[in-house]
Amino acid sequence: MDAPTTTSADNGTSGDDNGGGWFTPRKPASQGRSAPGEGASADDTDQERIAAPRRSVASIRPVGSGTSRPAPPPPAGDARESATPTGETPPSAAPVDGLSADHAPAGHHPGERAQDQRSQPQRAYEGHTAYESSVRREERGARENSEAAPRRPNARETAHPGEALHPPAAQHPGEGTRPREAPRPGEAARQRESAGRLHLAGQPPETVNPHGTGAGTATGPREAPWSHEAPAPHGTPADRPRHPQPAAPATNASPDAILIRRTMAEIEPVADKVTSYFYALLFVRHPELRDLFPAAMDSQRDRLLKALLTAADHMDNAAVLTDYLQNLGRGHRKYGTQPAHYPAVGEALIGSLTRYATATWDEETEAAWVRTYTKISQIMIDAAAENERQAPAWWHAEVVSHDLRTPDIAIITVRPNQPYAFLAGQYTSLETPWWPRIWRHYSFAGAPRTDGLLSFHVKAVPAGWVSNALVHHARPGDVLRLGPPTGSMTVDHTTDNGLLCLGGGTGIAPIKALVEDVAEHGDRRTVEVFYGARTDYDLYDIDTMLRLQQTHPWLSVRAVVDDRAQFPDAVREFGPWYEYDAYLSGPPGMIRSGVHALRGIGIPFDRIRHDSLEELVAAGD
């Protein structure tokens, strides 16, 4: 099996400009072959277009999956989650304008039933705006994270490699006088141990000022983050907009692209209604498809439509788009998506656009959307069919260890039931037995191992269905499902540039994987890791990182304790970084300010890598 990190540009199956008829993609490359247990050979007759999926995702319940234990209660709390590689969006109500169809099937599992019950009263589909653009959601998440951050006085003021860095100056009023909270159980000892090790490095103290100007290191002009670079849905390292920029039409845009962007501009203010109407249409017309989605829809309800709109918006950027859609097509295999489902989705898409883009909708526009959707679906279908020959749609993975590092962070190690190939720095999606069809992204917290085990760092976030189940409910012996690996934040082994790595919070997981990857390649490249956390307590994996530092002379680890969300600025005090490739992993706000900081010290776009929201969408979640 190949890890789907790189994909050929266009496999020649993107469809022609006339489309293949009304959302009728050409037959998949694998037609005539059947996936194990599926017998799925799509023939796009009308009947088959609306045929129920032959394999229900929900029906896959491995023995010993943990479902025998009571499901964890639905997570309570606010909606403080971010749309990030591991971010979870809390399920909530689903509004629909003029339609009242929810075809949520009866739960197959205790957790699912609980979920249904919870969402039942909300199905009036009224007065709720579920759709938020990724930008808005991200900003909200960052803001709320920042507001909710516990404030504790910093413990140290100096920094060594391997030593926690603290912003020395300009504390918030009253901050320095606030008493430190009592350590949580077991933390005091761990903290003492960590602190002791932190001083072992024995380097002369360096004062780090994350708010400083980075004197001596800043070379390039400071640019506004997310400036006018062409958006890239997937695969390119970048300081790029977090959301497609439909408002910036290229002068050489194709006629279809112009029409599509016009529609996009019109529906943007009513995006929530479009989304609701889209799913209502889909489930009213094709109730059999309801089974492919989570019982509580809002956790994922806008993702499919958003992915389609993202793709449509980038139709003129063939290479990037193809990569994005191929990933999306592969990622959808785990949902049980079949070629025959695509026409139904296309019809719902056009139906909702027709209803809400009334000012710009005409025959010509509709034809442009039909052509575009036909291309989109063909690429996804072909990629899924190709992938079917190489890899399962999902893997079962048994939890073999569950290490609760803090009250809300666990390191979970699983054993997949089949070989699972991936690259260090990639991520996957996980589904727990308690919340069927709700998938969340987690990065692999290590390079591939000879024993095939995979580890993940999971932080239980408020209202996080999957993360709370994994941290507070999962036990050894439970069986999860894994989607395919994805993501392009991998080490470029064609260069011997140093690696500058910023890992914030549980974002340290893929950074650790990158370090192990360099170690295994024996490259002896310089690797400089900045490990950011809001408090000392949150440096839950500092011991591991320091052990790696002791083992590898080319590795330097610095902990940066900063509760004011200015962690990336710490790198300005070091360097120079001209000869480094940069890797960023952590909360979206950190990525954004990290890219800004790195651009400010002269690292070009093409040497800055991080997972992006678009990649997440591309992964099919």
State yes or no: residue 516 binds ligand NAI (CB under 6 A): no
If one asks whether residue 263 binds ligand NAI (CB under 6 A), the answer comes out as no
Q: CA 558 from chain center: how many Å? A: 26
Beta carbon nearer to ligand NAI, 518 or 571: 571
| Interaction pattern, residues 400-439, with ligand NAI; x per rule: CB under 6 A | ----------------------------------------
> What's the chain's Rg over C-alpha atoms?
24
Tokens representing 297 are 């829809």
Do the beta carbons of residue 488 and residue 619 sit within 8 Å? no
Residue number, 278 or 456, with CB nearest to ligand NAI:
456
Decide whether 159 or 533 has the Cβ nearer to ligand NAI.
533
Residues 6+ apart with CB under 8 A from 249: 257, 258, 261
**Residue whose pair of structure tokens reads 């088959």 in the numeric block:** 48
The whole-angstrom separation of Cα 375 and Cα 394 is 26
533 part of the interface to ligand NAI, by CB under 6 A: yes
Report 535-564 residues binding ligand NAI (CB under 6 A): 538, 562
The nearest distance, CB 85 to ligand NAI, in angstroms, is 4
Least Å from the CB of residue 141 to ligand NAI: 7
Contact of 281 with 301, CB cutoff 8 Å:
no
Between 329 and 462, name the residue whose CB sits nearer to ligand NAI: 462
Does 506 participate in binding ligand NAI (rule CB under 6 A)? yes
Cβ distance to ligand NAI smaller for residue 82 or 133: 82
Query: Any contact of residue 613 with ligand NAI (CB under 6 A)?
Result: no
The residues facing 42 across adjacent strands are: none
CB of 194 to ligand NAI, least distance (A): 16
Strands in 407-471 per DSSP E:
409-416, 427-431, 439-443, 454-459
- Does residue 266 interact with ligand NAI by CB under 6 A? no
Nearest to 40 by CA among 333, 382, 338, 475: 338
78 vs 268, beta carbon nearer ligand NAI:
78
Instruction: Write out the H or E segment, with its range, that includes residue 279.
Output: helix 271-285
* 457 belongs to the binding site for ligand NAI (CB under 6 A): yes
Q: Which residue is closest to ligand NAI by CB?
A: 505
Q: Of these, 355, 371, 375, 459, which contacts ligand NAI (CB under 6 A)?
A: 459
Measured from the CB atom, the residue of 19 and 75 that comes closer to ligand NAI is 75
**All residues at 6 or more sequence positions from 136 whose CB lies less than 8 Å from its CB, including other chains:** none
CA–CA distance, 490 with 38 (Å, rounded to integer): 33
Q: How far apart are CA 40 and CA 56, in angstroms?
A: 13
Q: Which of 67, 82, 365, 556 binds ligand NAI (CB under 6 A)?
A: 82
Contacts of 431 (CB under 8 A, 6+ apart): 334, 394, 437, 438, 439, 440, 466, 480, 481, 483
Q: Establish if 568 lies at the interface with ligand NAI (CB under 6 A).
A: yes
* Of 113 and 564, CB closest to ligand NAI: 564
**CB 212 to ligand NAI: min, Å:** 15
List, in sequence order, every residue forming a beta bridge with 499; answer none if it has no partner.
527, 581
Which of 235, 336, 507, 600 lies at the binding interface for ligand NAI (CB under 6 A)?
507
Stretch of residues binding ligand NAI (CB under 6 A), selected from 11-19, 155-163, 293-301, 531-539: 531-539
Q: Cβ 236 to ligand NAI, closest distance in Å?
A: 18
CA nearest neighbour of 465 among 434, 441, 442, 444: 434
Q: Does 572 bind ligand NAI (CB under 6 A)?
A: no
CA distance 337 to 329: 9
Nearest approach, Cβ of residue 426 and ligand NAI (Å): 10
Instruction: Return the bridge partners of 527, or none.
Output: 499, 555
When asked if residue 585 is in the footprint of ligand NAI (CB under 6 A), the reply is yes
148-151 contacts at long range (C-beta below 8 A, 24 or more positions apart): 148/80, 149/534, 149/563, 149/565, 150/181, 150/534, 150/535, 150/563, 151/175, 151/178, 151/563
User: Which of 35, 368, 397, 565 lies at the binding interface for ligand NAI (CB under 6 A)?
Assistant: 565
| Encoded tokens for 336 | 């049980």
Please identify, among the stretches 157-165, 274-282, 500-508, 516-524, the one whose residues bind ligand NAI according to the rule CB under 6 A: 500-508
Q: Which is nearer to ligand NAI, 392 or 507 (CB)?
A: 507
Report the residue number, 343 or 594, with the smaller CB distance to ligand NAI.
594
Q: Which of 442, 465, 537, 583 binds ligand NAI (CB under 6 A)?
A: 442
Which stretch in 11-19, 252-260, 378-386, 583-591 sits in contact with ligand NAI by CB under 6 A?
Answer: 583-591
Give the residue, chosen from 295, 509, 555, 608, that forms a contact with ligand NAI under the rule CB under 6 A.
509
Which of residues 160 and 441 has its CB atom nearest to ligand NAI in the complex?
A: 441
Distance CA 14, CA 22 (A): 15
Task: Determine if the peptide bond prior to 339 is cis (ω within 30°).
Answer: no
Contact string (CB under 6 A) for ligand NAI, positions 198-237, x = contact? ----------------------------------------
CB of 245 to ligand NAI, least distance (A): 21
C-alpha to C-alpha distance for 275 and 289, rounded to whole angstroms? 16
Segment interacting with ligand NAI, rule: CB under 6 A, options 82-90, 265-273, 294-302, 547-555: 82-90
Q: Cβ(386)–Cβ(15) under 8 Å?
A: no
Residue 392 contacts ligand NAI per CB under 6 A: no
Of 104-112, 280-288, 294-302, 506-514, the segment contacting ligand NAI by CB under 6 A is 506-514
User: Could you give the string, one character per residue 25-64, with x where binding to ligand NAI holds by CB under 6 A and - elsewhere?
Assistant: ----------------------------------------
**Residue 184: closest CA among 492, 378, 405, 9:** 405
Region 138-167 residues binding ligand NAI, contact defined as CB under 6 A: 142, 145
CB of 40 to ligand NAI, least distance (A): 32
Nearest to 15 by CA among 385, 370, 386, 388: 370
Q: What CA–CA distance (Å, rounded) separates 579 from 497?
A: 6
Q: How far is CA 493 from the centre of its chain?
A: 24
98 Ramachandran zone, left/alpha/beta (phi>0; psi -120 to 50):
left
- How many angstroms separate the CA atoms of 537 and 252, rounded? 53
Q: How many residues form the binding site for ligand NAI (CB under 6 A)?
A: 32
Six-digit token string for 58: 């929900």
- Provide the binding-site residues for ligand NAI, judged by CB under 6 A: 82, 84-87, 142, 145, 442-443, 457, 459, 504-507, 509-510, 532-534, 538, 562, 565-568, 585-587, 589-590, 593
